Amino acid sequence: MQASKLLLFLGLFSRIQPYPLDRLDLYEASITELQYGLENAHFTSVDLIRAYLRRIDQVNHMGPKLNAVLETNKYALEQAHALDEERNLMGKRSPLHGIPILVKDCIATLANEGMNTSAGSYALLGSVVHDEATVVTKLRKSGAIVLGKTNLCEWSHIRGDLPNGWSGRGGQTTNPYYPGSDPCSSSSGSAVAVAIGLAAGALGVESNGSIICPASFNNVVGIKPTVGLTSRAGVIPLSMHQDTVGPIARSVADAAAILSVIAGQDERDNFTSTAPATIPDYTQFLDPHAIKGKRFGVPRKVFMNETLMRTHPSVNTEFEKALERIRKLGGIVVDPADLPSAEELSSSREEWVALVQFKILLNAYIQNLAHVPTNVSSLADILKFNNEHRNLEEPEGYEDQSALIFAESTEGYNSTYHETLHQNHILARERGIDGALKLYDLDALLLPSNREPSEYNFTCCYCRLSNGDRQDKMFHSDSILKTPNRSPKRNLHIKFSIQLRGCLSDYHL
């Protein structure tokens, strides 16, 4: 089926959805709407794959040249056909059955599909993993189709002072809203791909803003789960205490549907032992009235200080408008609700701890690979490879690898490391987010997720679920956002989504 016919079918079935849609296409189609079309034979998964591949051809390396997708799965059409046949015979496996999903290029897929797992680096090009990432296996079991790999900041932005969205293999990913503009942070390819309709959803990985920032900059929804809710097995590591895999999608409902599939315990990742034994279907918590009666804290001390944080005044202005809207929707805003450790957070050595871990974890990851054509076996080898292949890894303007050099100089898990890790735990958790939630009896903390307005403005939300126990707690990102102004006279459109004690809400302001 041609892409134009697919769009026509999407437009036809959109009319009977429980909410009005003037037109539905690959830019806007939700997973629910796509699944409806598949279930009612308006189109097939093969049609979907062809349409998305055509979109990728149009905008990835041609046209606007967004460089969001590194490579595609050469067996995607074959897999889609098999899933179409299975649907006809046995029905769908899950809401993701036959739905194309992209994954970040640090999430392992089996080499026999012809896709690499390289963190954007030529040093790992052609490397072969023994097992694909657990989250990918879960996607496949749900019936989702892994359409391809997305570009990222090389080594998840741990290489050096390089532009957001650049990798040696993938080049420069750019924001789809303005030519050449910043896509923000490490999971940029995943966010850009979802924003421009190259897949129904994507997986990102966050250690420090890598889902939140690109989701906000590209006007999509990202969820950064608590570390341990989703498995990192098969993910090229940065930090064992910060890495977490999460969904990026066009709506809260779609992100919740993907999270429901990828979350859960995994014997290959000890941190997931704290996850619930049974993962709920998070879409059941979608509630347009969830904000009413919930308590939102605003940690103003330090975080809202324009001088200390170098925050653009317009960010705080829009944030205040969002707080007022929350009040009008029945939310209780506790203001201020400062973190007990707020004035001490600047003493945190979080980045140093992460770099210590990165060296050890990366060396272990590489040494566990089945095959590495470049013969690198350690971080030291990667630095050497980069220096010997400057045309690939250090083109003019992209030479910096200071973070890799610093990581290589670290001395492992010594007493200083353990003391610093413990102090960070106290500052960020016991006297940080958890401390504030308990002290003020809050359901969530609200803060702007970016200091610069760019063309959009956002709030991120730190929340708790169920009874507030750690294993049920999630970090839900992307909450208040302003779409790009295409003219100075355009009114602001703000959307926010908040997760509170089991309730996902989606609002438009």
The residues annotated as belonging to the active site are 104, 186, 210
Tell whether the torsion through CA atoms of 59, 62, 65 and 68 is positive or negative: positive
Neighbouring residues of 344: CB distance < 8 A, sequence distance ≥ 6? 427, 431
Helices in 25-105 by DSSP H: which ranges? 31-39, 45-59, 76-90
State the CB neighbour count (10 A cutoff) for residue 181.
15
Angle between helices 379-388 and 402-409 (to 10 degrees): 150
CA distance 156 to 349: 19
CA distance 473 to 466: 8
Strand partners, 145: 100
C-alpha distances out from residue 496 to 54, 65, 291, 419, Å: 31, 30, 11, 38
CA distance 346 to 72: 42
Are the CB atoms for 112 and 101 separated by under 8 Å? no
For 12, phi then psi, to 5°, come to: -65, -50
Strand partners, 201: 101
Are the CB atoms for 30 and 13 separated by under 8 Å? no
CA distance 229 to 4: 40
Classify residue 19 by burial, with Cβ atoms within 10 Å: 0-12, 13-18, 19+. exposed
C-alpha distances out from residue 179 to 32, 165, 313, Å: 31, 14, 25
CA distance 366 to 364: 6
Hey, which bits of 192-334 come out as E strands? Answer: 201-206, 221-222, 244-249, 295-297, 332-334
CA distance 203 to 214: 12
